[in-house]
Amino acid sequence: MATPRDLVKCVSEALGVPASTVANIDRKLMEAGLRTKKGHGRGSAIMTYVDASMDIVAVAATADEITRAPECTAMARALPFVKDYKSELAQLCAVIGGSQREYKTFGAVMDGIMRHAVKAKDAEPCISFELTIAGGDPHLAVIFLARGLDKVGEPDVVEIEFFHPGALVRVSNTGMTIRRFVNPEALQAVADCVGEPADWGRTTTEPG
């Protein structure tokens, strides 16, 4: 099981982002009610897969203004599933569980991915994602599902996109574009950090 401090350290190491930056983003999320707050009494809250999902998306979605972390995180998580990718989403559901009806936004899919990852820590990591930030705001998310090699020996990767109508035009018209990629190993490392579902909801006396 992981405390907020543990999760910050893990996300920092997995994404290669300074721990101070991750800690500041995590604190902004807590203050905004976007991740679990402290436990009962003096105990520190125990992080769940949703907290892990929230933090890893927040770090990827936040550009330079850490004060905007809650806003950027909410924007990224609300990016809608593009219906052209229904068959690809079905393939992802076959891996992570759940139904397509659950996964209408990028945030919902990320929660499903992290829920699966904490239970499948011995499996080969195969899911990654990329966020495109333009003008300081996240406009496009892509989830990648690696399925090994195809018949000619090339990587077989399924892509699922999330964006609002008109987002691609706005991205192309913006001079400053940032792409943040989070690889499968980083996702799995963060999932492993939060532990098993049986640990969630407990508290520890370690300061959060």
Model pLDDT, residue 151: 77
> Once rounded to an integer, what is the mean pLDDT over residues 174-184?
90
Is-contact 65 25, C-beta < 8 A?
no
Model pLDDT, residue 206: 40
Angle between the N-to-C axes of helices 184-194 and 106-119, in degrees from 0 to 180, rounded to the nearest 10? 70
Of 41, 15, 16, 11, give the one whose Cα is nearest residue 29: 11
Q: How confident is the model at residue 169 (pLDDT cuts 50, 70, 90)?
A: confident
Q: Strand order of the sheet with strand 177-182?
A: 155-163, 137-149, 127-134, 177-182
Is-contact 134 171, C-beta < 8 A?
yes
> Once rounded to an integer, what is the mean pLDDT over residues 19-35?
96
> Once rounded to an integer, what is the mean pLDDT over residues 183-206?
73
